[in-house]
Amino acid sequence: MRYFLAIYVLVIVGAVSILGVRGSFSTKPPLEVFPDMDRQNKLRPQAANGFFASGRTSQPYVAGTIARGAPYQDLPVNTGRISGTTNFVSTIPVVINESLLERGRQRYDINCSPCHGANGDGKGITTKYGMVAVANFHDSRIVKMSAGEIFDTITNGKNLMGSYGANIDISDRWAIIAYLRALQRSRLAVADELPENERAALQ
């Protein structure tokens, strides 16, 4: 009976202390058992910020940013195909200059040479570790292949080759193709195309 009374009193005290204060107000912060990331360090848009030179938190878009909802442009440079058709463009639809080729060389060495080899003969390092049937860019079939089809191969992959569209952005794909053409040319040039003095040195 004593225990019953003690428990009875405890239950009443407990119930009143939990339920009895409902509806009353307090200026003290609430007890937080699980804070659920209610408070966190973050930058608020438009707020001042000493970290950036502009003194602002919101920064301008990075050059080349395209809005998610921007209209898709059916242009050869984006698709490798003649606008409005499914036909591949035969040539590279961007301006080719030395800096593009240099960029292409660098991107080729990173992304393609492990399989296709530094000179494009299909004997990259991965062939020593079981990669098979890697295309040789000096095969006449690939020499004749349109630039658009190579663009499509990089973007979507082909047969055993995986796609690199997610890793290599569009301008770099064309840069790689320009360099790939230079690699092919390096084996196709004839002596008559050399400048006078270099032709003499060759003979």
Site residues, ligand HEC (CB under 6 A)? 111-112, 114-116, 126, 131, 133-135, 142, 150, 153-154, 158-161, 164, 168, 176, 180
Kindly state the smallest distance separating residue 171's Cβ from ligand HEC, in Å.
13
Q: Which CB atom, from 56 or from 158, has the smaller least distance to ligand HEC?
A: 158
Kindly state the smallest distance separating residue 126's Cβ from ligand HEC, in Å.
6
Kindly state the smallest distance separating residue 72's Cβ from ligand HEC, in Å.
23
Helices 147-156, 170-185: crossing angle, 10 deg rounding: 130
Q: Which CB atom, from 96 or from 194, has the smaller least distance to ligand HEC?
A: 96
Kindly state the smallest distance separating residue 45's Cβ from ligand HEC, in Å.
38
Q: Which CB atom, from 143 or from 194, has the smaller least distance to ligand HEC?
A: 143
Give which of 97, 77, 101 is closest to 89, Cα–Cα: 77
Kindly state the smallest distance separating residue 100's Cβ from ligand HEC, in Å.
15
Q: How far is CA 31 from CA 17, 41, 42, 104, 124, in A?
A: 15, 21, 23, 60, 63
How far is the C-alpha of 180 from the C-alpha of 186, rounded, in Å? Answer: 10
Q: Which CB atom, from 76 or from 107, has the smaller least distance to ligand HEC?
A: 107
Q: Which CB atom, from 75 or from 160, has the smaller least distance to ligand HEC?
A: 160
Task: Work out the widest C-alpha separation in the chain, in whole angstroms.
Answer: 120
Tell whether the torsion through CA atoms of 164, 169, 173 and 175 is positive or negative: negative
Task: Give DSSP secondary structure letters for 80-118.
Answer: SB-TTSSPBPSS--S---HHHHHHHHHHHHHHTHHHH-T
